[in-house]
Structure 1
Amino acid sequence: MTVLESGGLEIDLLTIVLLIVAGFVAGWIDAVVGGGGLVQLPALLLVPGISPVQALATNKLASIMGTSVSATTYYRRVGPDMRTAMPMAAFALVGAIGGAALASRIPEELFTPIILVVLVAVAVYTIAKPQLGRTSDLRWEGNGHRWIAAGLGLVIGFYDGLLGPGTGTFLVISLVSVLGYAFLPASALAKIVNFATNLGALIFFIPYGAVLWALGLVVGVANLCGGYVGARMAVARGSGFVRVVFVVVVGALICTLGYDVVAG
């Protein structure tokens, strides 16, 4: 039985329920450590008749609702350094617009093996250094610190606009390993930047006509609720909790992308 029509697609009740659950889980994961696209984007691709670009664009609409509330929660409770967050977010937004412009032109199979290798290296590095990200030990100072953050934002923002899944994870590990943040403040900064990358992608996708608004708003409300719960849990439990979730999410990303490479 059709319960929702969006962009000419008819979506039944069971699919809507599955998408709401996926949206909530994705919002929770994104708020804690990033990588919610691992859950939400594949779920959207299950909608009969949806194109990959429509799924990617609708995923951005739902995700920006979750990142907005989790970024606000982190800002109020953790107080991330906005002098680092703002230039990083600005460059990430520009990168995301560029990545989204190429999203319908470059086949994903060119990138999946490379991303898989990077994630394996990230997992090994994180597990091999149990003290990594427990406390902040910032590298560089002043403008040098901010320019490196901006460069990281540009590269990861481009990836988010192009593909998306795992963006928050890459943001967190870059902030921890390159700039020296603990996992909790890294997650706080990552949410602000991730909001900007989602916005940048939508700046391209909305005029392109790829966003399925009704579907995106339904999934987005679930994502928003998950983001609120996840951010509060991360703040309450600290960097140790975030690190454990980070390792689990990276492991899940490796398994998913590894299956794609083997099956593909």
Structure 2
Amino acid sequence: MDYSAVLVLCGFSFLAGFVDAIIGGGGLIQTPAMLFTLPRYPVPTLIGTTKIPSMFSSLMGAFQYSRRVAVVGRFIGPMMAIAFGASWFGSWVLSRVPNSFMKPLALVILIGVFIYTLIKKDFGQVSHRVVTASQQQKRMWFMGAGIGFYDGFFGPGTGSFLVLGFIALIGFDFLKASAHAKLVNASTNLASTLFFINEGKILYAFAFPMAIASLSGAFLGARLAILKGNRFIRVFFLFLIAATILRFAWDLLR
């Protein structure tokens, strides 16, 4: 057991949990750290290992938000179930077909999201009802299916896409969108975790210490987001989207 590698990965997991609890995107920190620190292991095994700390981070974030932010309980439960099934299916498809086309597509979408959020200053600053209850139900369940599949099939940026969907399609502000996104992301992470456990692709000696570090980071991140509110989360959202764009562009151009 390489204890120095465990300590390094726990540090990155703490940071990933902190960022993920605020606006999502912890995988953008954690996954590259795994690939760089443990290059001798197969990539599917490393990705599978990150799912356990990601799941714990999402659960901690969801718990912290749910204590202070009202959740649309009658719709979020079915949405989580749909996202769970879609994420499992996405992981199954990933094991049989390549997902190389997803990165350019996600890059184009994220650039559009960044520009729109930057220009529209009031985006996500106020919670407002823009759809009927019936439309809200359909849109949330559609989001659960689409983004859940994306998380299982590709993954990076899932939390950000969930936040964006809750703001643009449902009318939530950033804080309420983050609260709901954590619940759905916990469901998709659970599905991926169970899939990789079944496939035997998890390094438990790394996964559990990383999970503890991720929990700690998520606790602090969620508390900070709740304390600072929508303006702070908007800035963090723009920063994370910009970082994601740069990372995807680097991967495509190198």
- Normalised to the residue count of structure 2, the TM-score between the two structures is 0.96
- What amino acid does structure 2 have at the position aligned with 1:83? R
* Secondary structure of 1:77's aligned partner: coil
Aligned to 1:145: 136
Query: C-alpha separation between the residues in 1 aligned to 2:222 and 2:228?
Result: 10
Is 2:9 aligned against 1:19? yes
Find the aligned partners of 2:246 and 2:25 in 1 and give their Cα distance.
Answer: 13
1:210 maps to 201
Name 1:8's counterpart in structure 2.
Answer: none
More divergent stretch after superposition (34-43 vs 78-87): 78-87
* Percent of aligned pairs sharing the same letter: 37
User: Does 1:34 find its partner at 2:18?
Assistant: no
Matched, 1:78 2:81: no
Residue 114 in 1 paired to residue 105 in 2?
yes
Q: Say whether the 8 Å CA contact 1:65–1:220 is kept in structure 2.
A: yes
- Which structure 2 segments of 5+ residues have no match? none
| Match in the other structure for 1:189 | 180
Retained in 2: the 8 A contact 1:53–1:103?
no
Spell out, residue by residue over 1:214-260, the C-alpha distance to the aligned partner (whole angstroms, 9 max, x if none).
21111111111110000000111111111110000000000000000
Residue 84 of structure 1: CA displacement?
2.9
1:250 — aligned with what?
A: 241
Q: Which of 53, 74, 79 is residue 88 of structure 1 equivalent to?
A: 79
Query: Is residue 180 from structure 1 mapped to residue 150 from structure 2 by the alignment?
Result: no
Counterpart residue number, 1:62: 53
* Count of residues in Structure 1 that have an aligned counterpart in Structure 2: 253
How far residue 138 of structure 1 moved from its aligned partner, in angstroms, is 2.4
Superimposed CA distance per residue, residues 54-90 of structure 1 (whole angstroms, 9 cap, x where no aligned partner): 1221111111111111111111121222223212211
Partner letter of residue 223 of structure 1? S
Amino acid at match of 2:155: G
TM-score, with length taken from structure 1: 0.92
C-alpha displacement of 1:190: 0.2
Which runs of 4 or more aligned residues in structure 1 lie more than 6 Å from their structure 2 counterparts after TM superposition? Answer: none
Q: CA RMSD in A?
A: 1.2
Q: Which runs of 5+ in 1 are unaligned?
A: 5-11
Q: Given the alignment of the two structures, is residue 102 of structure 1 paired with residue 102 of structure 2, yes or no?
A: no
The alpha-carbon deviation at position 111 of structure 1 amounts to 1.0
CA distance in 2, matches of 1:102, 1:76: 36
Give the CA deviation at 1:103: 2.3
Q: CA deviation at 1:200?
A: 1.2
CA distance in 1, matches of 2:232, 2:95: 37
Alpha-carbon distance in structure 2 between the residues aligned to 1:53 and 1:179: 34
Q: CA deviation at 1:98?
A: 0.6
Amino acid at match of 1:199: L
CA apart distance, 1:131: 0.3
